[in-house]
């Protein structure tokens, strides 16, 4: 996989998600690229404990602290699962140019899954959204984590129509 492609950065996020899963957090990883720099984060809600320690928020915080700016214009955030409402708000607030995610989240996703923060007329910044990059791999990672938590395996279920009707973004994992 060539570097500097959506698939390359998503594969890096998947590796980070694997680390968070091993530590008992829901396996979500994030990679933020901006101005030739790359920032890495993974879910750490359980580890910290901090309800806001989602991979997306931690990647944004790392970039802002390192660069000394809150406005991360031109940045792209790669995340293994569709961002929640809190993370979507942080992405908008940071003025990121683009968000790329793997699998959808019909129950809590805020990029078209449960709601669509990025398409809302109420937000003051537009973020381009690319969905479904390595979606099967990211969905399998989450399913395996939750199956292990439940102590049983569960077959994959994909439904392209449930949350993403009206021509929106990629496969949904139930």
Q: What amino acid positions are annotated as catalytic residues?
A: 56
Q: Enter the tokens of residue 19.
A: 């680390």
Q: Enter the tokens of residue 140.
A: 């399998």
Residues comprising the chain, all counted: 174
CA dist 117 and 109 (Å) reads: 9
CA dist 77 and 150 (Å) reads: 31
In sequence order, which ranges of 85-134 are alpha helices (DSSP H)? 85-93
Secondary structure (DSSP) of 24-69: TS---EEEEEETTEEEEEE--TTTTT-TT--HHHHHHHHHHHHHT-
| 8 A C-beta contact, residue 16 and residue 42 | yes
């Amino acid at each position: 996989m060539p570097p500097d492609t959506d698939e390359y950065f998503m594969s890096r996020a998947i590796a980070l998600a694997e680390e968070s899963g091993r530590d008992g957090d829901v396996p979500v990883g994030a990679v933020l690229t901006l101005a030739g720099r790359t920032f890495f984060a993974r879910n750490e809600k359980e580890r910290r404990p901090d309800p806001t320690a989602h991979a997306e928020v931690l990647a944004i915080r790392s970039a802002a602290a390192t660069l000394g700016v809150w406005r991360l214009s031109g940045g792209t955030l790669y995340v293994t699962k569709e961002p929640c409402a809190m993370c979507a708000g942080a992405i908008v607030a940071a003025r990121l140019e683009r968000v790329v995610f793997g699998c959808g989240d019909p129950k809590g996703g805020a990029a078209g899954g449960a709601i669509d923060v990025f398409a809302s007329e109420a937000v003051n910044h537009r973020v381009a959204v690319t969905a479904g990059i390595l979606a099967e791999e990211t969905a399998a990672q989450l399913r395996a984590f939750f199956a292990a938590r439940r102590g049983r395996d569960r077959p994959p279920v994909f439904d392209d129509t449930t949350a993403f009707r009206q021509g929106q973004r990629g496969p949904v994992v139930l």
